[in-house]
C-alpha cells in the first residue's frame, strides 16, 4: 500500500489511519499515556530483575524500546478505539483480544529467541495480568479525561 502522505515511507500508512479526526487528540493521548506507563513499568520490572532483554537496541537502554514506545502504544490505541463506547463487561472481554495474543507471542519469544528472558519468578501469567491491567488502566484514564473535558464533572 502506497502512503499518499509520504511515498518514501509506506509502512507509516496504517498508523496515520489510527489517528483520524475527530478523535485524533484522544488517540494521541492514549499513545503517549501508554508509552509513559509502559516505560515506567518496564523499567521497574527490569530493575527488580524479573525480566531481561539480552538483545536490545540501543545497548544503553535496559528496556525494550520498540515494544514500549511503538508496538504497545499502537495496540492500546486500537483497544481504545474498539472499546470507546463499550461498557465495563465488554471492555473486560475485549481486553482478551489483545492481551492473550501478546502473551502467547511473548511466551514464544522467551522460549525461542534472545529477545526476552523471564527471571526471579516472572512467568506468562504475570505478563498476561500486567498487559491486561495496563490496557484497562489506560482505558479507565481516558474515560475519566473524557468526562472531565465534557463537563460531566464539575472540578470546582
pLDDT tens column, 66-84: 888 999 999 999 999 999 8
Higher pLDDT, 59 or 49: 49
Residue 20 above 80 pLDDT? no
Residue 21 included in any domain: no
98 contacts: CB under 8 Å, gap ≥ 6: 75, 78, 79, 131, 135
Cβ atoms of 46 and 52 closer than 8 Å: yes
Residue 155 above 60 pLDDT? no
Number of domains comprising the chain: 1
Residue 113 included in any domain: yes
The CA-atom distances, in angstroms, between 87 and each of 17, 25, 40, 84, 139 are 25, 22, 28, 9, 11
The grid coordinates of residue 137 equal 488502566
Residue 46 included in any domain: yes
Q: d(Cα 139, Cα 76) in Å, to the nearest integer?
A: 8
Band (pLDDT 50/70/90 cuts) for residue 108 is: very high
Q: d(Cα 147, Cα 67) in Å, to the nearest integer?
A: 30
Residue 154 included in any domain: no
Residue 80 included in any domain: yes
Residue 143 included in any domain: yes
The grid coordinates of residue 19 equal 489517528
Helix, strand, or coil here: 100? helix
Higher pLDDT, 78 or 8: 78
Residue 156 included in any domain: no
Identify whether 22 is preceded by a cis peptide bond (ω within 30 of 0).
yes
Residue 8 above 60 pLDDT? no
Ranges of H-type helices in the chain: 13-18, 24-47, 65-66, 72-82, 88-112, 124-149
Residue 140 included in any domain: yes
User: What pLDDT does 148 receive?
Assistant: 86
Range of the domain at 119: 30-148
| Percentage of the chain lying above the pLDDT 90 cut | 56
The CA-atom distances, in angstroms, between 59 and each of 62, 65, 68, 90 are 7, 10, 15, 40
Residue 59 above 80 pLDDT? no
Amino acid at each position: 500500500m502506497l502512503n499518499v502522505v509520504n511515498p518514501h515511507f509506506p509502512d507509516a500508512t496504517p498508523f496515520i489511519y489510527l489517528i483520524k479526526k475527530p478523535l485524533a487528540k484522544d488517540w494521541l493521548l492514549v499513545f503517549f499515556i501508554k508509552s509513559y506507563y509502559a516505560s515506567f513499568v518496564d523499567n521497574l520490572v527490569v530493575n527488580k530483575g524479573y525480566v531481561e532483554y539480552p538483545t536490545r537496541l540501543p545497548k544503553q537502554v535496559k528496556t525494550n524500546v520498540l515494544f514500549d514506545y511503538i508496538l504497545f502504544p499502537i495496540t492500546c490505541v486500537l483497544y481504545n478505539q474498539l472499546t470507546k463506547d463499550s461498557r465495563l463487561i465488554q471492555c473486560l472481554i475485549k481486553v482478551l483480544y489483545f492481551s492473550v495474543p501478546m502473551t502467547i507471542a511473548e511466551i514464544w519469544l522467551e522460549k525461542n529467541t534472545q529477545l526476552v528472558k523471564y527471571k526471579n519468578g516472572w512467568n506468562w501469567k504475570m505478563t498476561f495480568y500486567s498487559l491486561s491491567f495496563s490496557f484497562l488502566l489506560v482505558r479507565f484514564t481516558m474515560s475519566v479525561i473524557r468526562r472531565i473535558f465534557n463537563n460531566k464533572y464539575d472540578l470546582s
